[in-house]
Amino acid sequence: MQIKNKAFLAPLSEYTTAPFRMLCKRHGADITIVPLVSATAIARRPAYADRIDFSDKIDDCIQLFGKVPDDFSTATDTLKEKFPKLKWIDINCGCPSYIVQEAGAGSALLDKPQVVARTIELLRNKIPVLSVKMRLAGTWEKTAAFAEEVTNAGIDFLTVHGRTSRQGYSGKADWEKIREIKGIVNVPVIGNGDLQCRSDGEAKVKSSHCDAFMIGRAAMGNPRCFENGTTNGKDDAVEVMKEYMGICGELECAHISDMRVKALQMMRNFSGSAKLRGEIGKCKSAGQLETLLGI
Ligand SMILES: Cc1cc2nc3c(=O)[nH]c(=O)nc-3n(C[C@H](O)[C@H](O)[C@H](O)COP(=O)(O)O)c2cc1C
């Protein structure tokens, strides 16, 4: 699989739903990933996988989190059975959430590269494409040791979010460290952190010598960022929201709570947007939201 210069939509738990992933693909995202799903939950109860909104018409990859290599292996078997066209699993080694870390998963795995290497060993022959998404570890030595061990274990790509887990989302992503990681590993690297649009990503790919880039939060309010478009102004924002609601209808997943969340993100930074967001919060049906936005 070629990823040179491709634009990835970052996995954003509870936000990048199937209709949102489709919206971003229609606006230039090249690769979409189903956000983190518990490998252990699927391993213990295969029916848990029924909740996953993977669609081979939209998505490229499902991301798993966990800490037990055998659970990743069992979960991958289940996912392959349920989604025969699934070709790509990503292993989450970056989630900073307290609950996930306390369970020994997400960014807690940055301290346990051998567990991730064992997971890769088990998954390698089960799935054609395998990747890891990491954050920076507490020190450069740990970061480098982790990146080297997991890439040597046999993954196809490495995504690096240039922040530590302790930073959460504060400060700036360290693209210099992303460049240094690219310099020591033998697989393509996808750089991630603070990118606003495609041209921003392309410039960072050049300066960091990465292979591709990933955009997360900027896409939440502006899914057009992948084609360097904007949702500045009410007319643009309403147009994109109308498209989103249309996709929700097409995919038969028009949930008002989800549509409200998206509208709240998109209706920003124009005159009257704060008042409008207050009204959006009160909408109880798609019809009410459409009337409010004049769709
Ligand atoms: C609401 C939210 C949910 C996220 N969920 C996930 C997730 O499920 N898996 C993951 O690897 N990263 C997750 N992330 C991290 C993003 O994928 C990305 O690495 C991070 O936001 C930095 O990129 P950005 O600066 O472009 O937003 C999440 C981030 C946010 C803000």
Residue 196: strand pairing partners: none
10 lines ligand 1 (CB under 6 A): yes
CATH (domain of 99): 3.20.20.70
136 lines ligand 1 (CB under 6 A): no
Could you tell which of 13, 24, 190 is best to mutate to test the pocket of ligand 1, judged by most ligand atoms within 8 Å of the CB?
A: 13
Are residues 68 and 102 both part of a single domain? Answer: yes
In this structure, are residues 58 and 85 in contact, taking their beta carbons and an 8 Å threshold?
no
15 lines ligand 1 (CB under 6 A): yes
Main-chain dihedrals φ then ψ at residue 197, nearest 5 degrees: -165, 175
Tell me which of 197, 227, 257 is where a domain ends.
Answer: 227
Are residues 212 and 238 both part of a single domain? Answer: no
Beta strands in the chain (DSSP E): 7-9, 31-38, 61-65, 88-93, 129-136, 157-164, 189-192, 212-215
163 lines ligand 1 (CB under 6 A): no
Tell me which of 183, 200, 227 is where a domain ends.
Answer: 227
* Closest ligand 1 atom to 194 CA: 25
Residue 168 lies in a domain: yes
Are residues 208 and 265 both part of a single domain? Answer: no
Are residues 186 and 275 both part of a single domain? Answer: no
Instruction: Print pLDDT tens along the chain (295 aa).
Output: 899 999 999 999 999 999 999 999 999 999 999 999 999 999 999 999 999 999 999 999 999 999 999 999 999 999 999 999 999 999 999 999 999 999 999 999 999 999 999 999 999 999 999 999 999 999 999 999 999 999 999 999 999 999 999 999 999 999 999 999 999 999 999 999 999 999 999 999 999 999 999 999 999 999 999 999 988 899 999 999 999 999 999 999 999 999 999 999 999 999 999 999 999 999 999 999 999 999 9
What is the value of pTM for the model shown? Answer: 0.97
- pLDDT tens-place string over residues 174-214: 999 999 999 999 999 999 999 999 999 999 999 999 999 99
Query: 119 vs 29, 123, 264, 271, CA distance in Å?
Result: 29, 6, 39, 51
Main-chain dihedrals φ then ψ at residue 20, nearest 5 degrees: -70, -40
* Closest ligand 1 atom to 217 CA: 27
Are residues 79 and 36 both part of a single domain? Answer: yes
- pLDDT tens-place string over residues 28-55: 999 999 999 999 999 999 999 999 999 9
216 lines ligand 1 (CB under 6 A): yes
Tell me which of 186, 209, 227 is where a domain ends.
Answer: 227
194 lines ligand 1 (CB under 6 A): yes
Are residues 118 and 185 both part of a single domain? Answer: yes
- pLDDT tens-place string over residues 143-152: 999 999 999 9
Residue 143 lies in a domain: yes
According to DSSP, residue 216 is labeled -
Residue 263 lies in a domain: yes
